[in-house]
Chain A
């Protein structure tokens, strides 16, 4: 149901619920408007994580693709597909995130890469940054981290 402003002085409980939910949504998701059509690749072996990260990006108007292992990510990039943003987990099936990141960078790809992983130790962080990610984020990916990056990519 689309939220509507109350038509009378006394809003119904349902109107209050819907307006409250919309306000909360805006607050939680930090609304931004992108001027450009951005594209992103999400590389995560876990389906729940991958689906959620893709949907979060799509809620901001980012066109996304997802793959579930490092080898497919490298192959996709090698085929010539370009992305403004790559979000990649550290531990991946087939080819791990560190090696996949190195191979992507070795291909001359300079797009923004976010290492989003459950590993939170300093050694993991340093290793991922050394492999070539620009930003290291501990899961879950949230709007507070993502929105400034999207604004930067959008040239805002």
Chain B
């Protein structure tokens, strides 16, 4: 596939993520921050976000495994995940966090477990799509480098 076609494929793929509500306009802001002084910025931010998100989801899972759940501790983790989801433009994941926040506010452990399931699903979907996006970006960089 030639460079222009790859770039079009990437553009269309990102557009589909917007249309599905997986990403929102905040992700466009992040893409706009990538330039020649920060050529790998998008990949670095995605990697940072995914590492943090997985750590937080694991911590939430662990917290909900206790008989007596520390809901204030849980609140802190949900706050972090919702904040980073919002900052990277992970729209559906951010919305899923709102469900967990509400269940946590109500001290509803069962509700928290259900909300965590949704968060895990949304995160797995997002991660798969981010991996595909980064694969396309790397292919573009490789082709551009070979053409120089």
Contacts of A78 in B (CB 8 A): none
- The answer to whether A48 and B33 touch (CB under 8 A), given A55-B38, A91-B79, A118-B82, is no
Q: What's the tally of chain A residues with a CB closer than 8 Å to chain B?
A: 33
A139 CB contact (under 8 Å) in B38, B75, B83: B83
6 contacts between A and B (CB under 8 A): A29-B33, A48-B87, A56-B33, A140-B29, A141-B87, A142-B29
Residues on the A chain within 8 Å of B35, using CB: 25
The closest CB in chain A to the CB of B55 belongs to A47
Which of B26, B76, B144 meets A140, CB within 8 Å?
Answer: B26
Residues of B within 8 A of A46 (CB): 52, 80, 83-84, 87
What is the CA–CA distance of A45 and B75 in the complex, to the nearest angstrom? 14
Is A106 part of the contact surface with B, judged by Cβ < 8 Å?
A: no
Contacts of B45 in A (CB 8 A): 48, 51-52
Q: Are B33 and A55 in contact (CB under 8 A)?
A: yes
Task: Flag B70-88 by CB within 8 Å of A: 1 or 0 each.
Answer: 0000011001101110111
CA distance A17 to B36 in the complex (A): 15
> Is the CB–CB distance between B41 and A55 below 8 Å?
yes
Q: Do B52 and A48 touch (CB < 8 A)?
A: yes
Closest to A138 in B: B86
Q: How far is the CB of A141 from chain B (nearest CB, A)?
A: 8
Chain B residues with CB under 8 Å of A65's CB are none
Give A90's nearest chain B residue, CB to CB.
B79
Is B3 close to A, CB under 8 A?
yes
Expressed in whole angstroms, the Cα–Cα distance for A45 and B82 within the complex equals: 12
- Chain B positions within 8 Å of A13 at CB level: 4, 7
Q: Which residues of chain A from 22 to 79 have any CB-CB distance to chain B below 8 Å in the complex?
A: 24-25, 28-29, 44-49, 51-53, 55-56, 59
Q: B118 on the interface (CB 8 Å rule)?
A: no
Would you call B18 an interface residue if the criterion is a C-beta within 8 Å of the partner chain's C-beta atoms?
A: no
Interface membership of chain A positions 124-140, coded 1 if the CB is closer than 8 angstroms to chain B and 0 otherwise: 00000000000000011
| B4 partner residues in chain A, CB cutoff 8 A | 12-14, 17
Contact between chains at B29 and A143 (CB < 8 Å)? yes
Question: In the complex, which residues of chain B have a beta carbon less than 8 angstroms from the beta carbon of A53?
Answer: 87
| B30–chain A nearest beta-carbon distance, Å | 7
